[in-house]
Amino acid sequence: METDQEFLDAEEYRNKDDGSAGIFTIATYDESTSKYTLLNANIGDSRTVLAQKQSDGSYSVFACTQDHKPTNDEERKRIEEAGGFVQMSRVDGQLALSRAFGDRMLKTLHLPPEKRKVTSNPEIITKEATKDDFLFLACDGIYEGDVFTREDVIKYIAEHLQKTDDLALICAAVLDECLRRGSRDNMTAMIVQLKDGIQYNAKDPEYIPGVYFSSENDQKFQEAYAKDAQLAGFTLEQALQKRAQIEEEEKKKNSQPS
């Protein structure tokens, strides 16, 4: 809530209504039990999911966060007490989230942070985990329109973990699959394994350019794509060449008999 207030008070955002959901997890290791305690915090509709490995090698799914929607009884009560209303499943008919960073116009700044129509007061869920488990943190673009359920995406990741230990490649595969299934929302995803990461960290830095859209309507996307390439040390032309190589390799792999 302090971070949110700093954002709202920042001079460059005084006249803007930017906003975002947010999730984070703090993992604390206990040597006496060889287990982790996960403290999962959430505002909005991004999700943290824990995949717990079972004796048969499969994974059970535990929801470490719950979506904060204006239609939830607890959320609706706070919104109405703050002088707001829920219409079309949105706060004041505008925002589909009931907790978020920013969104100044719906913050009712005269109220304490935890009582505002849209609050940044996090919900916290704790859970134990082992080194055989993994976490998947992602925004709602992964789940939009039931593109993936929590169970589906964990199963998809688990199948890929049998083929590679490269978490970046698996995350890229998840995002590509979301696009293939029709997601049109922005997407951010992270896989966290609860084990020694020294070997993985020793790998060379990776840059995996995604699909490039060249339509005149995609100018903002093109600017972001070029900036992302630049941050990785590539020109746009080099990034497109690398993408073409990736697609050619995928075609060769898919054309081979299984």
Distance CA 63, CA 45 (A): 12
Q: What tokens does 153 get?
A: 């995406």
Say which DSSP state 96 is in: S
What pLDDT score does 258 carry?
Answer: 60
Sequence ranges of the domains in the chain: 2-7+20-206, 209-258
Q: β-strand 86-87 against 47-53: which pairing, if any?
A: unpaired
Distance CA 176, CA 211 (A): 9
Q: Which residues are 22's β-sheet partners?
A: 43
Q: Which residues are 62's β-sheet partners?
A: 50
Note whether 102 and 118 are within 8 A (CB): no
Distance CA 1, CA 22 (A): 12
What pLDDT score does 15 carry?
Answer: 85
What pLDDT score does 133 carry?
Answer: 97
Distance CA 174, CA 153 (A): 8
Q: Which residues are 119's β-sheet partners?
A: 99
Say which DSSP state 110 is in: T
What pLDDT score does 57 carry?
Answer: 92
What pLDDT score does 42 carry?
Answer: 97
Could you tell me the fold of the domain covering 2-7+20-206? Phosphatase 2c; domain 1 (3.60.40)
Q: Which of 106, 115, 130 is nearest to 19 (CA)?
A: 106
Kindly give the confidence (pLDDT) of every residue in the chain, 258 residues in length, as a single tens digit, with 9 standing for 90 and above: 999 999 999 998 888 889 999 999 999 999 999 999 999 999 999 999 999 999 999 999 999 999 999 999 999 999 999 999 999 999 999 999 999 999 999 999 999 999 999 999 999 999 999 999 999 999 999 998 889 999 999 999 999 999 998 898 899 999 999 989 988 888 999 999 998 888 777 767 778 898 898 988 889 999 999 999 999 999 999 999 999 998 898 888 777 776
Distance CA 157, CA 256 (A): 23
Map residue 203 onto helix, strand or coil. Answer: coil
Query: What strands, in cross-sheet order, belong to the sheet with 22-30?
Result: 22-30, 35-43, 123-129
What is the chain's length?
A: 258
